[in-house]
Amino acid sequence: MRLDKYLWAVRLYKTRSLAADACQTGRVKLTADGRELKPSHDVKTGERYSLNIEGLHKEVEVLALPPNRVGAPLVQGFLIDRTPQEEYERIRMARQYAFERRDRGEGRPTKRDRRDIERFKYE
């Protein structure tokens, strides 16, 4: 099974094209050697992948290959989430401090402000 199809099938990405884009931009790596993977990489059981999903550095291990996209309750049978708990805490704390809020009367963010916010959130 292709890597982009696997990431989509186990619901790590909402669409297959988002999974393919993540692979092409280097946000999906093989944990063993840190090598960036292409969307066409053949997924094998036992492999571990490091993913960067909107600022969350996630690590997953492949248990089995699904025949097609699976429901959320069934995902546990196809992967193990090896992400450290500290990473989830970091994301929770970042969301708790809503830095995107703007003072009253400051107006909408400019294009430059929006890009700075996106860069801060996802890198």
Each residue's pLDDT tens digit, 30-49? 999 999 999 999 999 999 99
* Residue with token string 């009367």: 105
Mean per-residue pLDDT for 101-121? 82
Rg of the chain on CA atoms, in Å: 17
The percentage of the chain sitting over the pLDDT mark of 70, rounded to a whole number, equals 93
At 100 the pLDDT is 65
- Tell me how long the chain is: 123
At 90 the pLDDT is 85
Q: What is the domain partition of the chain in residue ranges?
A: 1-83, 84-123
Calpha distance 1→35 (Å, rounded): 19
At 103 the pLDDT is 76
Reference 19, options 42, 3, 41, 37; nearest CA is 3
Q: Would you identify the CATH topology of the domain 1-83?
A: 3.10.290
Mean per-residue pLDDT for 9-18? 96
Residue 95's contacts (CB-CB under 8 Å, 6 or more residues apart) are none
pLDDT higher than 80, residue 93: no
Q: Which residue has the higher pLDDT, 63 or 98?
A: 63
Mean per-residue pLDDT for 56-75? 95
Q: How far is CA 102 from CA 23, 106, 108, 114, in A?
A: 34, 6, 8, 12
The percentage of the chain sitting over the pLDDT mark of 90, rounded to a whole number, equals 67
Per residue in 67-87, pLDDT (tens digit) is 999 999 999 999 999 999 999
